Amino acid sequence: MASPEIVSTNSEDETFALGERVAAALEPGTFVLLHGDLGAGKTAFVRGMAAGLGANPDDVSSPTFVLIQHYKGRTPLVHVDLYRIESGAAVDDLGLEELASGAVVAVEWAERLPRPVDGVSVTIDDLGNDARRITISVK
């Protein structure tokens, strides 16, 4: 994947398909750092990632209230949502590094991480209606 890659999608299905394509190239231990406003399509992208990793995308929901969800696939997917986390210490308590052992970790609201994390950065910009500009870069 060339970095950065900028892709336009015009439906939730296209955002899903992009997540599926990106995930198919990921190795266990990779962090996918998702950025975007509420409703931008982060969870739709993660559903596509689940499909690309061999998990059931229908099982994926926004983990806002649970914080962390695990999905079994060819490569396990750990889905983290930091929207309700306010301090770096609380994020540290989640043990994200340990979760990455043998899994791909998708982190919504990654800007709330207390320190930089290497991985794949995905920024989703809502352009109105169902149009999105998705920027993918490797850090």
Nearest to 105 by CA among 65, 63, 134, 135: 63
- Per-chain mean pLDDT for the chain: 88
For residue 50, give the CATH number of its domain: 3.40.50.300
* Structure confidence by residue, pLDDT tens digits, 12-28: 999 999 999 999 999 99
The Cα–Cα gap between 38 and 114 comes to: 20
Mean pLDDT across 40-66 = 90
* Structure confidence by residue, pLDDT tens digits, 70-95: 999 999 999 988 877 765 545 555 65
pTM for the model stands at 0.89
In the predicted model, is pLDDT for residue 63 greater than 70?
Answer: no
Q: Are 55 and 71 in contact (CB under 8 A)?
A: yes
pLDDT of residue 2: 53
Domain count, the chain: 1
Both structure tokens of 50: 């689940």
- What end-to-end distance do the CA atoms of the chain give, in Å? 12
Residue-range definition of the domain harbouring residue 15: 5-138
